Chains A and B, each alone.
Chain A
Amino acid sequence: MESSTLAESPVLLIDDDEELGSLLSRFLQKEGFEVHIELDGSSGLERARGGAFCAVILDVMMPGMNGFDLLRELRRTSNVPVVMLTARGQDVDRIVGLEMGADDYLAKPFNPRELAARLRAIQRRVRQVSAAPLAPEGKRVLVVGDVELNPRARVVKRAGDEVVLTSVEFALLEILMRAAGHIVSREDLSNQGLGRRLSQSDRSIDVHVSNLRRKLGASPDGGDRIKTVRGFGYQYTGA
């Protein structure tokens, strides 16, 4: 999935609302995206596993296999960026979604322009990675303590073992490790990592960072790898 054409590959929309799907795909096409639609969870999962998509837009509320089940299954084998469509008024849903490895979320009903912006941010992230070999600074393998991050291969290793990260987690870890020992504000993490401005009362960054902490585990000396700087941001310790 690290091919250079990935950024231009189609978007997969998994939503049981057929009319919404056709409206949305028309809108996104005009915005320059190619959209494939699946109307139920199990065929959506199959499609997402099989095809090379630049992103998956996933509705949480679906009959049969719902979005959470699908995401859990998908994350076993794929790190394709996922934008969850959560129900408004179900704040818990989006936290659960992010914890389960979704890259971003939108509360439904959402503004399709916002969705297009999020998809572009994902494309940019993917493009940056595929363009990395051209930037001399970007191709260097980052090593802090026992963690090794290879931007080119998009691989993170801890003590030699690969740690599987989603694209957002990877992007955030890269930013934090480049600035290891320095504090990175939540705003900067959002701008550079998620590709969008931090909005009011948005806890996405915190959930992603806590996912990162969980996946990386404690540092060899038992301390936190990523420190919270209260009310400001995060700091990768060491180096």
Chain B
Amino acid sequence: MRSLFVRIFISFWIAMTLISAGSALIYATQSTARWERWQTVHFDAFRQRVREELDRLDPHEADAVPHMVEALGKRESVVRVFAVAEGEPPRSDIPIGAQNLGGKAIAAGKALQERGESVAYFAEVLDPRFPGIALVEELSRPSPVLSFIGPDTLPFRLLVILVVSGLVCYGLARQLTRRLLEIRRASRRLAEGDLAVRIAPQLGELDDEATALARDLDQMAERIDALLGAQQRLLRDVSHELRSPLARLTIALELARQEAKGEAGEYHDRIAREAELLSRLIGEILTLTRLEGEAKPQRQADALDLSELVREVAEDADFEARPSQRRVEVISGDRITLLGYGEILRRAVENVVRNAVRFAPVESAVEVRLERGLLEGRPVARLDVRDRGPGVPDSYLKDIFQPFFRVSESRDRRSGGTGVGLAITERAVRLHGGSVMARNADGGGLIVSIALPLGPSDAAAL
């Protein structure tokens, strides 16, 4: 999305610079000719004024003419004019070229002009009553050096165009992409599972395409939220409804056992086992839907000793695993306390450890590590549980935290899991603001890592 900003900015800038530079170039090529025309127009006006003044003078007042011209010329900003008298000695305030041409025009009695490299002179005797006085006009052309660095020149204009259009385009591109960025930020949260997020209200009053996009995204989020909610409600309600008949079935089974007095014990045991599995499954689905449904459990988070909790879970699991020649070992256990929901966290850890035991080969140990660490620069408690089992194909490493996901149909069912355990772990850890991931270990086997954020006080404690 950064590149979108850059692309909009650069393309606008180039377009605007080209357009402006083009028009500046056209203007610049015509400017010399236009300058001359403009000066000529001014000369015509000026001559007219001088003639009017001369009309008011008597022929014997010839001495006053240069002063009059000088006075009028001072008011001019665009042109320079001089009055040259016949037989005058060279004057320091009149360019020598102008004085010479003026003298020649008086002698010749007609209008003369002389064009030089940077200036041109026009000389003319304006009134026959004053034949000894010529009016000389100086027409200047900008020098090549001056035209290059002067304020009216092309490179300077180009620079101005570049800066101004740059600023405008930057603002424009920002304005366009800023709203996109806001939408992106919100949709990111949506993608991470925060379905309560609504984007359109954050975009302010302006009603444009970006707002429309945001509104569509909001509708999408609402719909997903509703669908997920309905799905969870259904799952929860079904599980709830299954519980009562199952409770009655369990009691009826024991009554049947009493009546049978040891007959068909094998089948009764089998029914009991299946009922127990069903009951566990229902319990786990209910736990899962409750974790999904709530942003926060009703109970307050307590300060709890994570190291103690992990040690207890590991000991219990070790006790359970011994009969099948498997072990659970706590390799390292930093003392870590944090704010959390004890029961939920216990379930989370228990499910991971039990899952590891389930896939651990006979005579092997499941390794449990609890350490302080950093995740994206924040202090976390990191719990690694490693088994020496077959691991999980890399493409499934994320999926194992989905409810009822099975890597291999037959093997997982035989292993006796309900298929919900790791999903509960994932939700429980997320409820604590943490994250859980799985990876295959170098020496074989699966490592499930739980990272739980530590508050500043948790991190400082001991």
The A1-29 residues at the B interface (CB cut-off 8 A) are 17, 19-20, 23-24, 26-27
Which residues of chain A are near B312, meaning CB under 8 Å?
Answer: 201, 231
Contact check, A20 vs B347: say whether CB atoms are below 8 A apart: no
Minimum CB–CB distance for B246 against chain A, Å: 4
Which residues of chain A are near B249, meaning CB under 8 Å?
Answer: 109
Among B240, B247, B275, B287, which residue has its beta carbon within 8 angstroms of that of A20? B247
Instruction: From A85-93, A128-136, A161-169, A214-222, give the one contacting chain B.
Output: A85-93
The B273-323 residues at the A interface (CB cut-off 8 A) are 275, 279-280, 282-287, 290, 297-299, 308, 311-313, 316, 319-320
Contact check, B258 vs A201: say whether CB atoms are below 8 A apart: no
How many angstroms from the CA of A111 to the CA of B312 in the assembled complex? Answer: 26
How many angstroms from the CA of A113 to the CA of B268 in the assembled complex? Answer: 14
Chain A 10-52, CB-CB to B under 8 Å as 1, else 0, gives 0000000101100110110010000000000000000000000
Which residue in chain A gives the minimum CB-CB distance to B254? A112
Contact check, B258 vs A20: say whether CB atoms are below 8 A apart: no
B39 close to A (CB within 8 Å): no
Contact check, A27 vs B254: say whether CB atoms are below 8 A apart: yes
Contact check, B350 vs A92: say whether CB atoms are below 8 A apart: no
Which residue in chain B gives the minimum CB-CB distance to A201? B316
Among A23, A91, A200, which residue has its beta carbon within 8 angstroms of that of B252? A23
How many angstroms from the CA of A109 to the CA of B278 in the assembled complex? Answer: 10
Which residues of chain B are near A23, meaning CB under 8 Å?
Answer: 248, 251-252, 255
Among B248, B275, B290, B299, which residue has its beta carbon within 8 angstroms of that of A89? B290
Beyond A30-B258, A201-B346, is A88–B251 a contact (Cβ under 8 Å)? no
Chain B 415-442, CB-CB to A under 8 Å as 1, else 0, gives 0000000000000000000000000000
Contact check, B308 vs A110: say whether CB atoms are below 8 A apart: no
Which residues of chain A are near B279, meaning CB under 8 Å?
Answer: 88, 109
A108 close to B (CB within 8 Å): yes
Contact check, A92 vs B286: say whether CB atoms are below 8 A apart: no
Minimum CB–CB distance for A85 against chain B, Å: 9
Give the interface SS of chain B, mostly helix, strand, loop or mixed.
Answer: helix
How many angstroms from the CA of A208 to the CA of B316 in the assembled complex? Answer: 21
Which residue in chain A gives the minimum CB-CB distance to B272? A111
Beyond A87-B243, A91-B344, is A111–B308 a contact (Cβ under 8 Å)? no
Minimum CB–CB distance for A195 against chain B, Å: 20
Among A89, A109, A201, which residue has its beta carbon within 8 angstroms of that of B287? A89
Contact check, A17 vs B286: say whether CB atoms are below 8 A apart: no
How many angstroms from the CA of A5 to the CA of B327 in the assembled complex? Answer: 49
A230 close to B (CB within 8 Å): yes
How many angstroms from the CA of A26 to the CA of B320 in the assembled complex? Answer: 34
Contact check, A108 vs B247: say whether CB atoms are below 8 A apart: yes
Beyond A95-B343, A111-B254, A112-B254, is A89–B319 a contact (Cβ under 8 Å)? no
B244 close to A (CB within 8 Å): yes
Which residue in chain A gives the minimum CB-CB distance to B282? A88
Contact check, B344 vs A109: say whether CB atoms are below 8 A apart: no
Some 29 contacts from A to B, beta carbons below 8 A apart, are: A23-B251, A23-B252, A24-B251, A27-B254, A30-B255, A87-B240, A87-B243, A89-B283, A89-B284, A89-B290, A90-B286, A90-B287, A90-B290, A91-B287, A92-B298, A109-B249, A109-B250, A109-B275, A109-B279, A110-B247, A113-B254, A200-B316, A200-B320, A201-B312, A201-B313, A203-B343, A230-B308, A231-B308, A231-B312
Q: Which of A's residues lie within 8 Å of B, judged by CB?
A: 17, 19-20, 23-24, 26-27, 30, 87-92, 95, 107-113, 200-201, 203, 230-231
Q: Which of B's residues lie within 8 Å of A, judged by CB?
A: 239-240, 243-244, 246-252, 254-255, 258, 272, 275, 279-280, 282-287, 290, 297-299, 308, 311-313, 316, 319-320, 343-344, 346-347, 350
